[in-house]
Amino acid sequence: MYVPMLNLSIGYFFILFIQTITCASPCIYDVGNGQQLDVRTLGNANGKTPKYDNIPTTSSVPHTLSWNACFSYTKSGGGGCTNAAACYTDTKTGVSTVIARQSDAKFEQHDNGNLLVYHSPDFLLTVHLTCRDAHEDTITSRQDDLTIYDIFLTSRCACPGKCHYSDGSMSGGAVFIIILLVLLFVYIVGGMLFLKYSRGATGADMIPNRVMWLNVMSYAIDGTRYSIQIIRQKSFNVNYEKL
């Protein structure tokens, strides 16, 4: 009874682990045709400086905007720009106001470009993402009224698949391979030690589940031969027993 329950628990945690490492970031958006846009490449992850600061404006009001995709930031000496996705800064007083939070971000796909829309009770910010395979980004902003803002970004990283984000840590796949190798090592070494000191096994008999693995290899070889015969004869009418 305890062995099936243990196997069930191990299987449950294994599935949970796989789901965890394969979980996609909320900043990766499907744009169709199997392509994805990863806006993490349009932001700094250090939490201190926005990737796009002092964004010039076409409005007559003396101000600048700052914006950082995906990751919140807090500007030192920003006068109120804390835990923000975007901030408005009055160039005369230096006082900043948060106009967007990362939790408000909504992705919209359009034929002429993609949008990140930040809609809060007090402000509406729309970031227009235009794909252009160029080395340098171009960015401007516009203030439509006291609560509505637009940012226009043209960037290579606004093109699906052109830029790839890396935080310097190992990927989920690499972690999975390492854990798999560790479990395999424990299985082989632990099994050999158990068979040697518990049952007095020597030589090839020390291999854990040796007969089972020999059968697996035999079945794999037979399956390969069967598949080759099917390919050669271009027919499924192959007698498996004669292989």
Asked which of 124, 158, 192 is the last residue of a domain, the reply is 158
pLDDT of residue 116: 97
Predicted confidence at residue 137, as pLDDT, reads 95
pLDDT of residue 211: 87
The span from the CA of 58 to the CA of 109, in Å, is: 25
Query: Is there a domain that residue 7 lies in?
Result: no
Do residue 128 and residue 73 come from a single domain? yes
Question: Which of 103, 133, 158 marks a domain boundary?
Answer: 158
Q: Are residues 56 and 34 in the same domain?
A: yes
Which residue range(s) make up the domain with 201?
172-242
164 part of a folded domain? no
Using pLDDT thresholds of 50, 70 and 90, give the confidence band for residue 8: very low
β-pairing verdict for 105-110 and 86-90: unpaired
Is 133 within the bounds of a domain?
yes
**More reliable by pLDDT, 13 or 232:** 232
Quick check: 47 pLDDT over 70? Answer: yes
Q: How confident is the model at residue 151 (pLDDT cuts 50, 70, 90)?
A: very high
Same domain, 185 and 235: yes
Same structural domain, 121 and 217: no
By the 10 Å C-beta count (0-12 exposed, 13-18 middle, 19+ buried), 235 is classed as exposed
Residue at 91 is within a domain: yes
CB 71 within 8 A of CB 64: no
Domain boundary among 100, 131, 158: 158
Average of per-residue pLDDT values in the chain: 84
Q: Are 104 and 85 in contact (CB under 8 A)?
A: yes
Assess whether 141 and 229 both reside in one domain: no
Nearest alpha-carbon partner for 69 in 24, 100, 34: 100
CA pair distance 153, 15, nearest whole angstrom: 40
| pLDDT score at 152 | 97
Band of residue 169 on the pLDDT scale cut at 50, 70, 90: low
